[in-house]
Structures are given as structure tokens and as C-alpha cells.
Amino acid sequence: MSEIERLRARLAEAEEMLRAIRAGEVDAVVVAEKRGARVFTLEGAEHAYRVLIESINEGALTLTMDKTILYANQRFAQMVRCPLEQVAGGSFQRFLSTEDRRALGALMRNARSKGSQIQALLVAGDGSRLPVQISLRALPKNGSSHPAVSMVVTDMTEVRKAEVLLRQLSHRVVSAQESERGRVAGELHDHITQLLCAVGFRCQALTDSLSRSERSSKGEARKVRHMVGEVAEEVERICRNLRPSVLEELGLVVVLRTAAAEFSERTRVSLEIASVALPTRLSAGIELSLYRILQEALRNVERHAHARHVTVRLRQQGAFVRLVVKDDGVGFDAKGTTGLGLLGMHERARYVDGVLTVASTRCGTEVNVRVPVPELAP
């Protein structure tokens, strides 16, 4: 046989192997190593099963514990933009950044006992990056001396786009809320408060016009004037909560102390506030978001907690600012509760790229929000 004929035979053999891999007819992969070739049997790789795996929209792989790819479906090859024949037998790590490789190593160690998942960026063959979720689960050995894991890789591109759109919508909702609150506060202050003041003056004039013999009527007029004054004060308090102009003028710490004093006076609940002097004023958006979260947290304490003591702490931690509101009330099921109040606090935190967590037991509740502030970085 001539050299050309031998080369053609080897080429035909290679093409047949590639066809078999694509069709799911290969039950083993030979991996060349320094110590010689190693044969990995793909257990449970019946043709019908592989047809099902090829039909799903996620990447499906089988890996050894040293991250060698024993099997990959066509969808994964499309995700990494490499021919399928260049994927099988290679290392999965070549599709990950250095940081994600370390995360995958820890994930695979945990996969031996239970299923695990992480989110990472796949580095495709053309250099592009694809956001994915990687799920792992250890495969039963079934007599094999080589432990392996199954992997499902889910494309998160559309999810990321949806998250961005949702975040933009949330920002617009928050902005619209603040704009509407400002409008309502202006209406209350400019019209309702003025009308109440006018009614108060008329009540005072009526009181002064009554003679001493009309003591009963005079007393009633004084009571009406006092009630009008209380209503005017309540309207002013609502205006301050809707549009806290003091926040813009004096800053977050002063407003926190004012809100704490009002809360204690109204509810008779002891409130301790501890804060540190921040080296710089926070942005208007961060200050307003933290103030709104405090408002909602105290509102929940007043309505539901039956607490005797509340602690509010504001402090700097490196390039972050942390606000903690803790009470000693009855607590609630933080995981099972999806009220508008909690949802609003989470949205406020996300509005300034922060993270809010709520921990609650029978001994009380702690609301913890952490917001990045780059200008505070040491």
C-alpha cells in the first residue's frame, strides 16, 4: 500500500470517528498522557439517552475529576464556538478564567457529596465571553476506577439582559415615587397647611369674641383650635417624611437622629442610635435610599414587632457604608414573607447597588444594608 493510500485510510478512519462522536455512538475516549494513553468508558451512554442530551438547550458534559472532558454535546460546542471534535478529550479549564478555575475546583470537591452550582464566564474559542451557570453532580462509579461528574452549562445571556432591564425599570419606579412624593408634599404644605392655619386663626378669633358668660362655647372653641393645631403638625410631619428637605441640608446622620426621636416619642419604644462621622457627605441617592430603608424598618417595628428596644447603627467599612436596624420584637418568617415593605427595602438597596439582608428569629429582627461608596475607599 502506498503512503498516499495509508494517509487516505487514516483520514477516512478519523472522519468516521468524528461522525460517531457527533451521532453519539462513542462509548469511550482515549486521552493521551505522559504515562501513556488512558481509556475512559462513558457509562450509561446509550444512543437514545444521547439523542435526548443533544436535543436540550443547555451544554451537557461528563468530566473526570482532573477536569478532562469525556463527553460534550453539540450545544456546548456551540457555546464555546469550537468544533465538537476539539472539545472532547481536552480540559474544561481552557474555557475558564483563572478566577473561575479556582471556583470550579472548589465546586467539584463539593460535588462529590452533593450537587453544586456557580456562575462564571465561559471563554469561547474566538475570545468572546459568555455568562453561564454551571451545575455539577458526582456520577456513581458503578465499578469504575475513575470517578467522574456530570455538568450542565446554562447560557445566562438573556437572564442578564432581563436583570439589566428590571434594574432600569426599578430605578425609574423609584424616581417616579420620589417625584410624586415631592409633588404631594408640596401640595400639602402649600394648600392644606395654609388652610389649617387659617382655620386655627378663625378659631382663635371666635374664642376671643365669646364673652365670659359663654364659658362652655369658649371652651369648645379652644378645643377645636387645639385639634386644628395638632392636625397641622401631623400634616407637617407627613410632608417632612415625603420630602425630607433636612436631609439635603444637614445630611443623613442628623436626619437619622431626628427620625429616631420622632419614633420614640410617638411609639414609646426605646431607640438607641449609634453612628460614626463619615469623612464626606454621601451622594443624595445613597442618603435618600438609606433614609427610606430606615423609615420602612421602623414602620415594620411599630406595626408588627411589639418591640421594647430598637438599635440603629450607621458606620463606614472601607469603601462601604452599613446601616443596621435591630429590634427585640417577636420576629417573623423572613424567608416566607414577601410583603411590599420588604420588597421596597430590597429595591431601595439595589437602586444604589447595595445589598440588603433580613434576619429574624423569635428574639427579634435585624435589617442590614451594605452600600458601596467608592469615594470612601482608603
Round to whole Å and give the CA distance between 364 and 346.
19
Examine the pLDDT at 43 and tell me if it is beyond 60. no
Round to whole Å and give the CA distance between 53 and 64.
19
pLDDT band per the 50, 70, 90 thresholds, residue 45: very low
Quote the pLDDT of residue 270: 92
- The mean pLDDT value for 67-77 works out to 90
Nearest Cα residue to 150 out of 58, 26, 31: 58
Phi, psi of 106 (to 5 degrees): -65, -35
Separation in Å, CA 344 to CA 180, 290, 312, 347: 16, 12, 19, 5
Q: Which contacts (CB < 8 Å, 24+ apart) does range 172-178 have?
A: 173/347, 174/347, 174/348, 174/351, 178/288
Round to whole Å and give the CA distance between 345 and 280.
24
Residues above pLDDT 90, as percent of the chain: 22
Helix or strand holding residue 6 (H, E)? helix 3-23
Span 170-220, pLDDT tens digits = 778 878 887 888 888 888 888 888 888 888 888 888 888 888 778 888 888
Same fold, 3-155 and 245-378: no
Angle, in degrees to the nearest 10, between helices 284-300 and 252-267: 10
Examine the pLDDT at 132 and tell me if it is beyond 90. yes
Nearest Cα residue to 266 out of 237, 297, 232, 225: 237
- CATH, domain 3-155, list 3.40.50.300, 3.40.50.970, 3.30.450.20, 3.40.50.2300: 3.30.450.20
Decide which of 359 and 109 is more confident.
Answer: 359
Round to whole Å and give the CA distance between 53 and 60.
7
Span 313-358, pLDDT tens digits = 999 888 899 999 999 999 888 776 667 788 888 888 988 889 999 9
207: cell is 374664642
Examine the pLDDT at 237 and tell me if it is beyond 50. yes
Nearest Cα residue to 259 out of 306, 297, 308, 208: 297
Kindly list the domain boundaries of the chain, sorted by start residue.
3-155, 169-243, 245-378
- CATH, domain 245-378, list 3.10.20.30, 3.90.320.10, 3.60.15.10, 3.30.565.10: 3.30.565.10
**pTM passes above 0.75:** no
Helix or strand holding residue 328 (H, E)? none
The amino acid present at 277, given as its one-letter code, is A
Nearest Cα residue to 373 out of 290, 312, 259, 249: 290
Q: Are 131 and 114 in contact (CB under 8 A)?
A: no
Quote the pLDDT of residue 114: 59
Examine the pLDDT at 296 and tell me if it is beyond 50. yes
